[in-house]
């Protein structure tokens, strides 16, 4: 399914190639990241491999790819999980812009020989948690959010190819990483709109009782306090990956309205 951009490229420029968007449920949405990409002028080519959609053998016809999250595990023994994880050879070997969010980042880790696993003490992260950029992360982006929205029970051990960009709290230290110059994975969720967050909190209400999780009320209230820096960081992330612009102080672009 192709979604048209919300802004059009200039008339004297060729049409922009679409961003391949990989979702994992029938009701899943690319959320704020999708809105931002469309406002940048990119059409979205939305595919759901879990529902039988094919993935392209090359990204020659795409400007890049975003692999979103889902309630499943990157370690699940489902055929689509294996196919999708193996398919990451395409963007990585072609050096195409690649963004993995939560499950998408964990698939990147598994593809490259790292590990995805639950903490030994069974703790989880649901809510807003501290984030600290590494020196490599600060070199890439001048500004990072102090807290980010987490919805996961599994963490990652990074493969040797990965450069750690940001650390999290004790049980989930590896929160953002880069593979080469064109691929970034993050454990957290910059894509959630307010409506999506409310829906996730309702659908996953039982997970807020897990060890380490915050309560649902704190998760919802945290968005009012902590989301704006996360949104600004997402602007820089997408500009960096898909427009080739370095990170730094946010520029005033149409992305200002994407909340």
Active site residues: 102, 189, 191
Beta bridge partners of 152: 125
In terms of Cα–Cα distance, which of 1, 39, 37 is closest to 19?
A: 37
d(C-alpha 249, C-alpha 82), whole Å? 39
What tokens were used for 257? 């309205």
**In whole angstroms, what is the distance from residue 74 CA to residue 155 CA?**
11
**Residue 99 β-bridge partners:** 66, 184
Residue partners of 149: CB distance under 8 A and separation at least 6:
127, 128, 188, 189, 190, 192, 197, 219, 222, 223, 226, 227, 230
Residue with tokens 């649901």: 126
Q: Report d(CA 228, CA 145) in Å as an integer.
A: 8
């Amino acid at each position: 399914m192709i979604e048209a951009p919300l802004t059009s490229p200039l008339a004297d420029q060729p049409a922009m190639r679409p961003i391949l968007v990989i979702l994992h449920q029938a009701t899943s949405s690319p959320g704020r990241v999708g809105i931002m990409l469309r406002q940048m002028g990119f059409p979205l080519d939305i595919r759901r491999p879990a529902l039988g959609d094919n993935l392209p053998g090359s990204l020659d016809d795409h400007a890049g790819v975003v692999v979103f999250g889902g309630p499943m595990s990157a370690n699940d023994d489902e055929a689509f999980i294996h196919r999708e994880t193996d398919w990451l050879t395409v963007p990585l070997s072609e050096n195409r812009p690649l963004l993995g969010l939560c499950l998408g980042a964990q698939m990147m880790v598994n593809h490259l020989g790292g590990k995805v696993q639950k903490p030994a003490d069974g703790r989880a992260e649901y809510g807003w948690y501290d984030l600290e950029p590494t020196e490599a992360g600060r070199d890439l982006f001048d500004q990072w959010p102090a807290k980010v929205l987490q919805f996961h029970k599994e963490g990652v051990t990074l493969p040797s190819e990965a450069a750690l960009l940001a650390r999290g709290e004790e049980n989930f230290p590896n929160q953002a990483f880069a593979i080469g110059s064109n691929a970034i994975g993050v454990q957290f969720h910059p894509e959630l709109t307010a409506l999506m967050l409310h829906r996730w909190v309702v659908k996953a209400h039982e997970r807020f009782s897990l060890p380490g999780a915050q309560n649902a009320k704190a998760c919802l209230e945290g968005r009012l306090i902590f989301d704006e820096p996360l949104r600004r960081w997402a602007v820089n992330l997408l500009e960096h990956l898909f427009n080739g612009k370095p990170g730094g102080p946010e520029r005033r672009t149409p992305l200002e309205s994407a909340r």
